[in-house]
Structure 1
Amino acid sequence: MVVRPGAHAGRSAAGKAGRHGGRLHRLQVRTQHLTAPLLKKELPMSRDTSALASTPAPSGLRRRRLLLAAPFFGGMPAVPCMAAATPAAVAAPASVPATLRPLRLGTSTPGGGFSQYGELLQAVLNRRQGRDLLQARPTRGTVENLELLQRGELDMALIQGTSADEVLQKGPAGGLCILYAMYPSPGMLAVPRASAARRLEDLAGQPVVFGVRTSGLVTLARQVFTGIGLDIDRDFKAIYVERAADSPRIVLAGEAGGLWGAGEGWPGFVQVAQSPGGARFIGPSPAQIPRIISRYPLLKGMDVPAQAYAGIESPLPTVGSVNLILARADLDDARAQAFVTAMQQAGPELTAALPQAGFSTLANTVASTPSPELLHRVLRG
């Protein structure tokens, strides 16, 4: 565990180890605003979380770390997470018991990181539970996910970190709560290895693929580039796609000079990095990072580990946030608890299939939450 000087370690927690390309993937939380321990008792229907967090990692693997800071609310007081006067969820047929209805999870367009993560949860959790616990639904990403949650057309959704923080600041009026942590998303730009670009600003005036316009990746890109004095629409020939899967193909075809993305194991970066020409990855300069965080304090400094992708030879400093699974605050306790318990039990299998899912633990959910009042009721005991 790495704690910033002057912080209290009441809530911080190390991430869960996982496997990726023959290397040990360890995530450690570097906290800023810490509160008293959030979980005062063991969750009902679930295993003790300390035992889960200490699951042995595969031996004989080389260690690497992703350091991040738990998101906070810029000093704003937290408001209890409670059901607001928002439209009720669409009723299921009367013959289906409420506790057995599949949880509707909003993801992203095909080929994106959220789609990959959501489809994995659906496959693994449903198989392990022997029923349709979860139904992953393709969407256009974070912006649409929030809209569908508010309208009651989803029970929970995958939300980019800073967008999640912004909506949670609304308190009860937002009608949403944190149900589980996903994984960190440090933002980067991938360019062909032969490119002359060495800084983010070197691609000004050139075509750059930023992704699906309504995705959290584009939100992160706007924040990062605005923080260094650039506008992605004005200063670049911004390319937006209908599906995340289309993004790497545009770069590999030579139609764009770079691809914006975030996180480890992101499908678009994997394709570009493993292409015959290879890739290099660019983040903000050390001098730019404080400027970005000053402008957007919900972002946090992160280091992408060496060899996270082919082309990253040493730790790459950048900024990002922790993506979250948000749920409607009126999601009934039985269904919410069933999901939390299933996630705890499936942790090792999820991590083996998708290394970044190793961050999805109850301990990291707590560490990534500014205040216990923002957690769903079943996580507050």
Structure 2
Amino acid sequence: MNDLPTKISLGTATPGGGFPLYGDAAAAAVNETDPSLLVQTKNTAGSAENIRLLEADELDMALVAGEPAYEAFAGIGRPTSNLKIIAAIYSSPGMFAVRGDSSAKSVRDLVGKPIAWGTRASGITLLGKYVMDGLGLDRESDFEPHFLDKAADGPVMLAEGRVAAQWGAGIGWPGFTAITKAGGRLIGLASDDIEKIRTKHNFLKPIVVPAGSYPGQTEPIQAVGSWSYILGRVSLDEDMAYRFAKALDFAHAKLVERVEQGAETRPENTLAASPNLQRIHPGVLRYLADKDVDSIA
């Protein structure tokens, strides 16, 4: 009899970003909840590499931001991907962070300035490209772009004055937490900017960052963004996906204790954030049906 747990490899991103924070928390919560599973996280270059590793069957599951997932599913700049959604994990509103002594109040105030956009392979960095494009700006030619080796480098560059702003996304994003703890502040979008962006890129959704989401943030911030996912390789066993989805659901309280963004990791959100049912892994669909999540046939 084999009592060894089923190992699941979970790709995250570079140290210092939101994906390693979330991935480690999710792995620990799932492993505690279902000892028959052993989720092991692996640092990667981020969403773009995670898609490649999943397609090569070198990872079982991986965290992928909404924009790279959208491009992969739609076949934008690459062949259409058939990777499957295991869970929608959290929404990612894109924003800039500046130092407390910055005079910048809007995106337009940052045009021509040095910006830390994140790592090249990060979905957050790609979100910045789409948001700027929706505003009629180019992420590289209308700013002085800085692309990072590690997500954690950005807040240091901002603190030292080497960049005027850090682009990032999410609620509880580590880079923004570090910047706002040091007295920095966040810059979102005006309502007409959101409308303009969504006219061009309607897969981006309006998201409000509640007041108090970050240190010193006294007002809600308007932004746009998308849902990040845990995606699974196409060949992932149906039973494994079912067991993982069930454990992640049952581990919800443990997950939220470890990472605030885990509050959005619910089966209902997986259904709502998926482009269609065919994109959801069959094992996860079976769990959603067992749980009687709305609209599952």
Q: TM-score, normalised by structure 1?
A: 0.71
Letter in 1 for 2:140: D
Report the Cα distance in structure 1 between the residues aligned to 2:281 and 2:236, rounded to whole angstroms.
Answer: 9
Of 111, 125, 129, which residue of structure 2 is paired with 1:204?
111
The answer to whether 1:152 aligns with 2:57 is: yes
Report the Cα distance in structure 2 between the residues aligned to 1:219 and 1:96, rounded to whole angstroms.
Answer: 44
Contact 1:211 1:247 in 2 (8 A): yes
Report the Cα distance in structure 2 between the residues aligned to 1:229 and 1:345, rounded to whole angstroms.
Answer: 44
Task: Name the residue aligned to 1:240.
Answer: 147
The answer to whether 1:304 aligns with 2:209 is: yes
Letter in 1 for 2:174: P
Of 252, 257, 264, which residue of structure 1 is paired with 2:159?
252
Report the Cα distance in structure 1 between the residues aligned to 2:43 and 2:2, rounded to whole angstroms.
Answer: 24
The answer to whether 1:264 aligns with 2:171 is: yes
In terms of fraction of residues, the more helix-rich structure is: 2
Contact 1:281 1:311 in 2 (8 A): no
Contact 1:109 1:138 in 2 (8 A): yes
The answer to whether 1:334 aligns with 2:239 is: yes
Task: Name the residue aligned to 1:231.
Answer: 138
Displacement of 1:286 in angstroms is 1.4
Contact 2:12 2:63 in 1 (8 A): yes
Of 359, 362, 367, which residue of structure 1 is paired with 2:264?
359
Gaps of 5+ in 1: 1-94
Contact 1:125 1:346 in 2 (8 A): yes
Q: Kindly report the root-mean-square deviation, in angstroms, between the aligned alpha carbons of the 2 structures.
A: 1.9
Report the Cα distance in structure 2 between the residues aligned to 1:238 and 1:173, rounded to whole angstroms.
Answer: 29
The answer to whether 1:279 aligns with 2:210 is: no
Task: Name the residue aligned to 2:294.
Answer: none
Report the Cα distance in structure 2 between the residues aligned to 1:232 and 1:174, rounded to whole angstroms.
Answer: 26
Report the Cα distance in structure 2 between the residues aligned to 1:196 and 1:269, rounded to whole angstroms.
Answer: 18
- Summarize the alignment of residues 34-183 of structure 1 with structure 2, pairs less than 5 Å apart: 100-130=5-35, 133-169=38-74, 174-183=81-90
Report the Cα distance in structure 2 between the residues aligned to 1:285 and 1:96, rounded to whole angstroms.
Answer: 58
Task: Name the residue aligned to 1:373.
Answer: 278
Q: Could you list the per-position Cα deviations for residues 178-201 of structure 1 after superposition, in whole angstroms to 9, with x for gaps in the alignment? A: 111110000000111211101112
The answer to whether 1:194 aligns with 2:89 is: no
Report the Cα distance in structure 2 between the residues aligned to 1:109 and 1:168, rounded to whole angstroms.
Answer: 23
Report the Cα distance in structure 1 between the residues aligned to 2:101 and 2:9, rounded to whole angstroms.
Answer: 44
Report the Cα distance in structure 2 between the residues aligned to 1:103 and 1:169, rounded to whole angstroms.
Answer: 27
SS at match of 1:152: coil
Letter in 1 for 2:29: V
Letter in 2 for 1:363: E
Report the Cα distance in structure 1 between the residues aligned to 2:129 and 2:6, rounded to whole angstroms.
Answer: 38
Report the Cα distance in structure 2 between the residues aligned to 1:117 and 1:96, rounded to whole angstroms.
Answer: 30
Contact 2:181 2:216 in 1 (8 A): no
Of 181, 195, 213, which residue of structure 2 is paired with 1:290?
195
SS at match of 2:152: helix
Contact 2:82 2:279 in 1 (8 A): no
Q: Could you list the per-position Cα deviations for residues 334-368 of structure 1 after superposition, in whole angstroms to 9, with x for gaps in the alignment? A: 21112111101110111122111011111111121
Contact 1:304 1:316 in 2 (8 A): yes
SS at match of 2:86: strand
Residues 206 and 364 (structure 1 numbering): CA distance in 2 closer, same or farther, change over 3 Å? same
Letter in 1 for 2:132: F
Contact 1:133 1:339 in 2 (8 A): no
Report the Cα distance in structure 1 between the residues aligned to 2:168 and 2:275, rounded to whole angstroms.
Answer: 26
Report the Cα distance in structure 1 between the residues aligned to 2:157 and 2:80, rounded to whole angstroms.
Answer: 41
Q: How many aligned residue pairs are there?
A: 283
Contact 2:74 2:80 in 1 (8 A): no
Residue identity (%): 37
Letter in 2 for 1:143: A
Letter in 1 for 2:224: V
Displacement of 1:327 in angstroms is 0.8
Q: Could you list the per-position Cα deviations for residues 267-296 of structure 1 after superposition, in whole angstroms to 9, with x for gaps in the alignment? A: 000000001xx1221112211111111111
Q: Could you list the per-position Cα deviations for residues 64-122 of structure 1 after superposition, in whole angstroms to 9, with x for gaps in the alignment? A: xxxxxxxxxxxxxxxxxxxxxxxxxxxxxxx989x944111111000110011111122
SS at match of 2:191: coil
SS at match of 1:102: strand
Displacement of 1:132 in angstroms is 5.3
Contact 1:284 1:318 in 2 (8 A): yes
